[in-house]
Amino acid sequence: MSEYVIKTNGLTKSYRGRNAVSDLNLEIKKGEIYGFLGPNGAGKTTTIRMLLGLIRPTKGTVQILGKNLKSDKINILRRVGSLVEYPSYYGHLTAVENLEAIRRILDVPKSRIDEVLEIVSLTKESKRAVKGYSLGMKQRLGIASALLGSPELLILDEPTNGLDPSGIHEIRELIKQMPREHGITVLVSSHLLGEVEQMAGTVGIIRDGRMVFQDTISNLRQKAAGGIDIRVSEAESALWLAKDAGITGQAQQNVLHVEGLDDKQVASLVKRLVDNGHLIYRVEEKNKSLEDIFMEVIGEVKSL
């Protein structure tokens, strides 16, 4: 039980009889980055709001850091940092004053403010009113606020939403260093797989309020394991030669597509083809992108 930082059991939230989130079992292990994926409107933010105690679940329980959210909310929130949807800030205050407003509630030493500003590299801008900040800077300030209480768990809802590529990169690097350098478990939600796959160890994919996939990113990648496309002069007869050697594949036009071969098998297949007078124009590795898998996983549910 305690190895999970977040564990939900049959978490459900319904609005007027319609389930926004249904029967969700999240399992997030200590020290990992968990990518919470799903298209817009799938229920990610609703789930996160339940995790933070902002809304009450219709059914189900939430365990965070080994404690029940319902009975221990304040103690849990003390150990969780969060950024939900937009970075919220008080525009008329400077970054330092913004953090001070939060620091007073968290009751951490004043030195933490400089520390978190350093982490998100806002030290230089810290004396400026936040309303003049760029979106990327505001987002970094949001992360700084989330880190202020030295949390054990960081919950970030769409932290790169609306950022330009360099901003996205900065935030991603920032998130990646959390478990490594500060031992923080991170839950990061996004509707873009490409963004999450570069930092997450485990992903949960949610669609229409239901979890459709929850496993490590490498297992998701395995689903994506592709094959080899060999462009040959005579695809049909090449396919027969391959079948003779016990390799199954498909021939389309002048492409022979084979799957699940290791390097040696590929080499011997190519040699066999060449020895039999086939011309080989190209040997290409064809991987399904994670994006394709993502769409497949989402699509599977849609077609049900």
Residues that bind another protein (CB under 8 A): 49, 52-56, 74-75, 77-78, 80, 82-93, 97, 100-102, 104-107, 142, 145, 149
Residue 24 and residue 60: Cα distance in Å, rounded?
8
Nearer to another protein, 85 or 234 (CB): 85
Nearer to another protein, 106 or 295 (CB): 106
Q: How far is the CB of 70 from another protein (least distance, A)?
A: 14
Nearer to another protein, 54 or 267 (CB): 54
Residue 141 has, within 13 A of its CA and on its CB side, a CA count of 31
Nearer to another protein, 8 or 214 (CB): 8
Nearer to another protein, 102 or 290 (CB): 102
Q: How far is the CB of 113 from another protein (least distance, A)?
A: 13
Q: How far is the CB of 255 from another protein (least distance, A)?
A: 51
| Structural contact between residues 63 and 8, judged by C-beta atoms closer than 8 angstroms | yes
Q: Which residues pair with 153 in a beta bridge?
A: 80, 185
Q: How far is the CB of 94 from another protein (least distance, A)?
A: 9
Q: How far is the CB of 144 from another protein (least distance, A)?
A: 12
Nearer to another protein, 20 or 203 (CB): 20
Residue 210 has, within 13 A of its CA and on its CB side, a CA count of 9
Residue 56 and residue 14: Cα distance in Å, rounded?
10
Range list of H helices, 125-226: 135-147, 165-182, 193-197, 217-224
Q: How far is the CB of 78 from another protein (least distance, A)?
A: 4
Q: Which residues are CB-neighbours of 16 under 8 A, at least 6 positions away?
A: none
Q: Which residues are CB-neighbours of 132 under 8 A, at least 6 positions away?
A: none
Residue 184 and residue 68: Cα distance in Å, rounded?
20
